[in-house]
Chain A
């Protein structure tokens, strides 16, 4: 309605003498297009073009002079390290997301349980890991895991347990990167779940209580169905971010020991930037695309469904 009114207004404003170009500039759709033009240019030049360009790059040889088709990919398939990275990326992302979701869910419940006066204070405290820049908090964790001065080993020593080589041993190093990721990501889940918990109408719980539902039944038949959407979106979104994560592994272990903790992003950086093999690095990072696409499609479907439910 407003648009029509505006168009009607702008026509008398433009006198007949103005050129066609001027008229086109005055048109609503042209103005709108010009207003979005910087966004379109930015996205086209620095996101979409590089994304497509990386497909082209992945098909060149190391010195980037010759087109070699899929041989970079075939080369990767033959390398054992590649399969290790695939496995580690999946383990890393899936385990971390599950634990983030679990901890976020549990903590959100506890925060929801306490009187609302104190909630803000606790929420602020529990958000701390999420607001510290990940590169900085990873350094703190690196120092906590330090081979000779580890503060955890000091405690273990006091209790009489042998020191653990946190980032030196492959299994412990995998545990460490996942632990740090959970530490950084769990507050985000907590905040999302807390908002979802607060949006569940109190009447539903009252009705359930009158029907004699116990705690489990209230949880299973009221809370979880009401939160399902937000839980799915948060988990999928976090899956994308975790799967593409770079900072944590890069700072804590730099992929070591012997490439055991590399994920796609760090391995691509290692090969592409540090090893100067840009085509191979590009092909490694392209392997992230399938899982990212699946997650993105699921998120989009969910958003559309929610939008159509609301309208």
Chain B
């Protein structure tokens, strides 16, 4: 709104030789770039600040010099962190959890989406809507009853579920599967019926229709769903915070928050290094998904 107001206000002051519409457009463009730069600075400031801090030594940080510049940039934080077995454990846990959750999510949601979009059965329409509603149930509503349920399981069967990283393999799919099923239903529903009819004429069974026709045709959607599942499992914070406590069971976000903060001593150089390295896989995967799935 400001652009147009300013652009029109700016017009009378200038000579009218070039025609007002093109000048309006040019001014609108300049203001667009100006405000985009302002917003980009706001949006990029924390990650840039992460990078600056990660290049500083603790001594430089506590000397309280200009926080926006690293005078003696060093990679010592990176070296220290990448050679610390604790951080590598977090990283391994995160990677394992994310990869397995992605696989489980796809194994559950692709067949379910196929069945819900192509094979009608009793309650399938309700289930398709229900899947979306389930996605709207936040994890903040479920972690307390789940905590109690796991404690009860331990009481009755002796299987320890709390403070085990692999319990996250059961919890994360509740966050990823409903959404992935929902978008896969959308993708599968957009595949023309003539394709499965042609496959049927050639004598394909359901499994072959799914693997030979649906999955290849809906591949962009499948990739998007995979990346969604990965980013959700990489970033999840509440479940690991509530269900895992000992240092060797933690995943990256919780590990950084709880272990690098020792008492009140914050090793900010290392924390920022850890977060930057931890943010990298998710950021790069989401960015690549955006470029592969977006038409523009």
Contacts and interface: CB of A to CB of B under 8 A. Distances in A.
Interface of A: 1-3, 5-6, 9, 28-33, 35-36, 38-40, 42-43, 46-51, 53-54, 57, 64, 103, 106-107, 110-111, 113-116, 119-120, 122-137, 139-141, 143-144, 146, 148-149, 151, 154-155, 183, 186-187, 198, 215-216, 219, 237, 240-241, 244-247, 250-251, 264-265, 268-269, 272-273, 278, 281-282, 285-286, 288-289, 292, 295-296, 299-300, 303
B177 A42 contact: yes
B253 A47 contact: no
A282 B145 contact: yes
Nearest to B111: A35
19 contacts: A35-B112, A42-B174, A43-B134, A46-B174, A47-B178, A50-B145, A114-B32, A114-B33, A122-B36, A130-B286, A143-B50, A186-B43, A237-B136, A244-B141, A246-B237, A250-B241, A264-B140, A268-B144, A286-B141
A125 B40 contact: yes
B222 to A, nearest CB: 16
A132 B133 contact: no
Contact of A39 (B131, B139, B272): B131
A113 B40 contact: no
| Tier of interface size on chain B | 35 or more
Given A36-B115, A124-B290, A125-B43, A107 B36 contact: yes
A247 B232 CA distance: 13
Contacts of B111: 35-36, 38
Q: Which 6 A-B pairs have the closest CB atoms?
A: A244-B138, A133-B235, A32-B119, A135-B253, A265-B140, A29-B121
A170 B140 CA distance: 24
Interface in B26-54: 28-29, 32-33, 35-36, 39-40, 42-47, 49-50, 53
A300 B129 contact: yes
Contacts of B178: 43, 47
B197 interface: yes
A196 to B, nearest CB: 14
Given A47-B137, A126-B43, A272-B144, A2 B174 contact: no
A48 B42 CA distance: 40
A129 B132 CA distance: 25
B77 interface: no
B271 interface: yes
A128 B272 contact: no
A214 to B, nearest CB: 8
Contacts of B132: 300, 303
Contacts, number: 293
B121 A33 contact: yes
A126 B4 CA distance: 22
Given A36-B112, A183-B42, A131 B283 contact: yes
B147 interface: yes
B134 A120 contact: no
Given A47-B174, A128-B44, A187-B43, 18 more contacts: A2-B197, A36-B127, A38-B112, A39-B112, A46-B146, A50-B142, A103-B39, A114-B36, A127-B290, A133-B279, A143-B53, A143-B268, A143-B272, A144-B49, A154-B68, A183-B42, A240-B138, A286-B141
Contact of A128 (B147, B241, B283): B283
B142 A54 contact: yes
Contacts of A130: 286
Given A3-B120, A141-B46, A53 B149 contact: yes
Contacts of A215: 1, 4, 8
Nearest to A243: B138
A241 B238 CA distance: 14
A55 B33 CA distance: 52
Given A135-B253, A288-B141, A296-B136, A111 B36 contact: yes
A103 B35 CA distance: 11
A39 B106 CA distance: 11
Contacts of B42: 183
A230 to B, nearest CB: 15
A122 B140 CA distance: 34
Nearest to A293: B136
A50 B149 contact: yes
Contacts of B203: 9
Query: Which of A31, A136, A245 has the most chain B CB atoms closer than 10 A to its own CB?
Result: A136
Nearest to A38: B108
B245 to A, nearest CB: 10
A135 B235 contact: yes
Query: Which of A57, A140, A296 has the most chain B CB atoms closer than 10 A to its own CB?
Result: A140
Given A131-B282, A151-B67, A54 B141 contact: yes
Contact of B278 (A113, A120, A136, A250): A136
B181 interface: yes
B287 interface: yes
Contacts of A119: 296
B257 A129 contact: no
B82 interface: no
A171 B29 CA distance: 38
